[in-house]
Structure 1
Amino acid sequence: MGVCTSLCGGLGAELEVGTLAVIASVGLGDTRSGSSQVQAPRVLDNGAVYEGCWEGAVRSGDGSQVWPNGAKYFGQWANGMAHGNGRFEHIDGDVYEGNWSEDKANGYGWYRHKDGSSYEGQWTNDKQDGDGTETYADGSKYIGRYKDARKTGLGTFAWADGSSYEGNFENNDISGRGVYIWADGRQFEGTWASNRMHGSGVFTWKDGRMYSGDYVEDQKDGVGVFSWPDGRCYDGQWSCLRVSCSS
């Protein structure tokens, strides 16, 4: 079968926000100590235009910045960096809105691609990290855990064709224990490795057939029991090459 290989392969594209490291520190303006003060728009050394609050020569408080290429940030600043709540608009139409820490997405935030796909959840240093929900342009959706921008841990993925998987992921692959339900009603509950049934599990068909036993790379291989709705049953050893055997 191997149905998950093609479906899962492109699910883990990293949704990096892109740091604001290009922000240049400038030595301009009011250097008096005290609370943040709103000042007139300034052109920075890198050509970006900043308008908002300053503490001495440092951007701090609420402010907006527009880069020469058209990228925009609106939100909070601290020590010359995006820090707090803010919104960054990429030149390609993508948008991130949420929490920032030292010029990077950190904490809770929402990222929307121009094609309509999106991610909402936890971030660490510009990467999905923790609990989140990813929605794709075709309507598919993943809800679960991320680590270093990759689906890792428990999660649920629902495809647009009606199939679904609930269980463990590892580096964007279905790996570990989980239940996959096909759109036509077939179901496998058991162990997975790299998007394939691998280990022990139970496969059921909508017409009542059932196989309980061992799998190797999507194929029945090892000890297993196959039963039919009419009462017939085979209990024994299985060995099948993936290229010549079908379920």
Structure 2
Amino acid sequence: MVFTHYCTRKEKETSWWVGSWVGDEDGRGYDGYWKSGSMHGSGTYNWPNGDNYEGNWVKGTRTEYGTLTYSNGDVYKGNWKGDKRNGQGTAIWFLGDEDTYDTYVGNWTNNLENGTGLYIWSSGASYNGSWKNGKLNGKGTYTFSDGSYFIGTFANGRFSKGTLL
């Protein structure tokens, strides 16, 4: 693999650089800030498959706030820690066309829905409540696409106790 590294300037007597590198053979590349040889600060990274991340980097990992746009159109916009979705964020998953998608807005831990969040399915159904390891877990409200809803407790992604209205 051959890499081309372009640096446009070096900050005063520090190890901060602004510039780009491009992987000539596979198309991956980065444009942004560098520190001590790692992507560090604001920058954009492009993968060969068309995925793209624009946001903050710390020592070569996605950290703090950024947007990951997948080649199929899916998007995650929010907080990162150690290259994983962590903190508040929004994900949109497209299901075949631009008018059919699922959306999640809420908290994340290690790339999974965790804490409080709202998930809206393309069918019109939604869940607003607690999540654990990517599953409905704890108190919440599940609204069916016909407008009826279940208020109560969920365990491991399933209805547990509550009232169907």
Q: Same fold (TM over 0.5)?
A: yes
Aligned to 2:109: 124
Aligned to 1:175: 160
Contact 1:106 1:124 in 2 (8 A): yes
Q: Which of 156, 164, 178 is equivalent to 2:141?
A: 156
Structure 1 position 97 matched with structure 2 position 77: yes
Structure 1 position 108 matched with structure 2 position 92: no
TM-score (norm 1): 0.58
Contact 2:6 2:21 in 1 (8 A): no
Contact 1:95 1:112 in 2 (8 A): yes
Within 5 A, what are the aligned runs for 1:1-247?
Answer: 34=14, 36-39=16-19, 41-44=20-23, 47-114=27-94, 115-176=100-161, 178-181=162-165
Higher RCO (C-alpha under 8 Å, 6+ residues apart)? 1
Contact 1:36 1:61 in 2 (8 A): no
| Structure (1 or 2) with the larger CA radius of gyration | 1
Which amino acid letter does the alignment assign opposite residue 164 of structure 1? Y
TM-score (norm 2): 0.85
**Which is richer in strand?**
2
Aligned to 2:97: none
Contact 2:123 2:145 in 1 (8 A): yes
CA distance, structure 2, for counterparts of residue 35 and residue 122 of structure 1: 35
CA distance, structure 2, for counterparts of residue 47 and residue 149 of structure 1: 33
Any unmatched runs of 5+ in structure 1?
Answer: 1-25, 182-247
Contact 2:31 2:45 in 1 (8 A): yes
State the SS of the aligned residue for 2:101: coil
Which amino acid letter does the alignment assign opposite residue 68 of structure 1? P
TM-superposed deviation, 1:29? 7.5
- Percent of pairs identical after alignment? 34
CA distance, structure 1, for counterparts of residue 6 and residue 81 of structure 2: 24
CA distance, structure 2, for counterparts of residue 133 and residue 161 of structure 1: 18
CA distance, structure 1, for counterparts of residue 58 and residue 44 of structure 2: 13
**Number of residue pairs aligned between Structure 1 and Structure 2:** 153
Which amino acid letter does the alignment assign opposite residue 22 of structure 2? V
Aligned to 1:196: none
CA deviations over 1:192-229 (Å, ceiling 9, x no partner): xxxxxxxxxxxxxxxxxxxxxxxxxxxxxxxxxxxxxx
CA deviations over 1:54-74 (Å, ceiling 9, x no partner): 002110000001111100000
Which amino acid letter does the alignment assign opposite residue 21 of structure 2? R
Contact 1:29 1:57 in 2 (8 A): no
User: CA RMSD for the aligned pairs?
Assistant: 2.1
CA distance, structure 2, for counterparts of residue 46 and residue 131 of structure 1: 39
State the SS of the aligned residue for 1:151: strand
Contact 2:118 2:127 in 1 (8 A): yes
TM-superposed deviation, 1:92? 1.6
State the SS of the aligned residue for 1:113: strand
TM-superposed deviation, 1:35? 5.9
TM-superposed deviation, 1:146? 0.4
Which amino acid letter does the alignment assign opposite residue 180 of structure 1? L
